[in-house]
Structure 1
Amino acid sequence: MTGPDLEFVDARTIDDCAALVHLFDRVWDVGDGPSVIDGSTMMALASSGNLVTSVYQDGVLVSGAVGWFGPPGAPLHSHVVGVDAARAGRGVGYAVKLHQRQWCLDRGVTRMTWTYDPLIARNAWFNASKLGALPVAYHPNHYGALRDPRNGEDPSDRLLVSWDLERSPGPWPLPAGDLAYVEVPSDIERLRRDDPAAASTWRHATRAAMTGLLADGWRVVGFDMESRYVFAKETV
């Protein structure tokens, strides 16, 4: 399958998977730390019918995606999508998500899930506004201590996102009624470098606000241009 100058290839060999390991490690700047995901695991996933995709542009590996199936009838869970920094902001990530969507629909799968750091505003906007994939659960310190350049010493809190693949990508209309908002920094990664204490304060404040709202029956319905999650009250 090809997109506007992109080629999507299902990984078939351990060399394909090894190339993805190097790409992901470069994207996440892991240095001497553990890889984002190892090649043998990717090979096992690919061999058992799961999603392991290499994305090429002009013959160069520029992105990749790995996901797997849960129990029968469960969504595909997208574990990692990485885009080479030189191609960031050029629509590659969006094209990869559309490819994942079609890959799932071709196999009769109508929902996909993944997790992301709730403090990364650009990802929140991309998920909610570009795709229409909305958070459904908050998981404190989901992956334990990561201590990579992106996460620093922050607990690895994650939002679980659910994407309805039968619906055309795009934001959901805001419901009528009361709304609540939870603001996040416009650039948490810069803040983690420049002021780790402030970043930690944001983490704990955001966790308390979001888990409290979800526990009280509110749900996320969008992410606005003021770097805020928009919540609406669940109706019975």
Structure 2
Amino acid sequence: MSSAVEIRVLKSNHELRQVQVLEKEVWNTDPIPLHQTITASQNGGLLLGAFIDGNMVGFSYSFPGFRHGKSYLCSHMLGIHPDFQEQGIGARLKAEQKQFASKMGYNLITWTYDPLESRNAYLNLTKLHAVCSTYIENCYGEMEDSLNSGLPSDRFKVEWWINSSYVSEPKAIHAANARHIFHWDMTELSFPKLMDIKDGLSSVRESNQPLYVPVPANFQALKNKDGKLALDWRYKTRQIFQTLFTSGYAAVSLVKGETAAVCYYLLVKRELLDLD
């Protein structure tokens, strides 16, 4: 990265209009109305901008949430200009979001992402130490953008317990005895295919050990070449994660597979995690 990145809180009308411009450049969709982001920023929300040489190249948008008598910060959107992606700016924004949110009195930040997008999974779970034990079917309904079209918009809802020792003093999860109970093979087009999952699902209820769940390392490439296979991954992993979460498991990290074709989620019993 040639120039230093400055992260700052966004509050002015001018800055929030820059967010709208960036939204269009990142997703080519209608931006969030200005009155919404201004109202959120004035009522417990948090908008951050990443600037290089005075130009906004990334942003994050969060607003307050409330459930079971407790408030949290709902991190709804994070975008990086296409010319500046994969340069660590997203991680910088999340780190600053964590610091500002803690100062504002929040203990928890939540957000959603597609569990089949391995890059997002690695950042959210492995790098940031968020966890997930909530699976939402078709969260946003039918979506027409290139990343989501043709598939149910299933999402993980992750929890980032920003003041917990799990996040502030991360320790390696003991996965030496983690089991592979869901298996995959390669198709004729050289894409990974998840095999029958019935035996694996039946053994979940009898297990307390850490478990691995495979996902494609490059889901978009697979989806673009074989839409039917992409749907197969969606529906099978939906069953797997719903069963595991109902059985008390939480997804805690994503690790590389033995080949470049897949990565693996590591799931452990949630009760073993020091999240409070």
TM-score in same-fold range (> 0.5): yes
Give the Cα separation in 2 of the matches to 1:169 and 1:45: 31
Q: Measured at CA, do residues 190 and 235 of structure 1 come closer, stay the same or move farther in structure 2, by a change above 3 Å?
A: same
State the SS of the aligned residue for 1:44. helix
* Contact 2:134–2:156, Cα closer than 8 Å, also in 1: yes
- Matched residue count: 229
State the SS of the aligned residue for 2:100. helix
* Contact 2:129–2:252, Cα closer than 8 Å, also in 1: no
Counterpart residue number, 1:224: 255
CA RMSD of aligned residues (A): 2.1
State the SS of the aligned residue for 1:224. strand
Counterpart residue identity of residue 207, structure 1 = R
TM-score (norm 1): 0.88
Give the Cα separation in 2 of the matches to 1:156 and 1:49: 28
- Is 1:66 the counterpart of 2:61? The answer is yes
- Is 1:51 the counterpart of 2:51? The answer is no
Give the Cα separation in 2 of the matches to 1:109 and 1:10: 16
Counterpart residue number, 2:74: 77
Q: CA deviation at 1:142?
A: 0.7
Give the alignment of 1:78-227 within 5 angstroms.
Answer: 78-166=75-163, 167-168=167-168, 172-174=172-174, 178-226=209-257, 227=263
* Contact 1:10–1:51, Cα closer than 8 Å, also in 2: yes
Give the Cα separation in 1 of the matches to 2:228 and 2:89: 33
* Contact 2:133–2:249, Cα closer than 8 Å, also in 1: no
- Is 1:42 the counterpart of 2:37? The answer is yes
Q: Greater shift after overlay, 131-140 or 40-49?
A: 40-49
Give the Cα separation in 1 of the matches to 2:99 and 2:16: 22
Question: 5+ unaligned residues in a row in structure 1: which ranges?
Answer: none
Moved segments of 4+, more than 6 Å: none
Q: Greater shift after overlay, 40-49 or 108-117?
A: 40-49
Give the Cα separation in 2 of the matches to 1:22 and 1:10: 17
Q: Measured at CA, do residues 235 and 59 of structure 1 come closer, stay the same or move farther in structure 2, by a change above 3 Å?
A: closer
Question: 5+ unaligned residues in a row in structure 2: which ranges?
Answer: 178-207, 258-262
TM-score (norm 2): 0.76
State the SS of the aligned residue for 2:70. coil
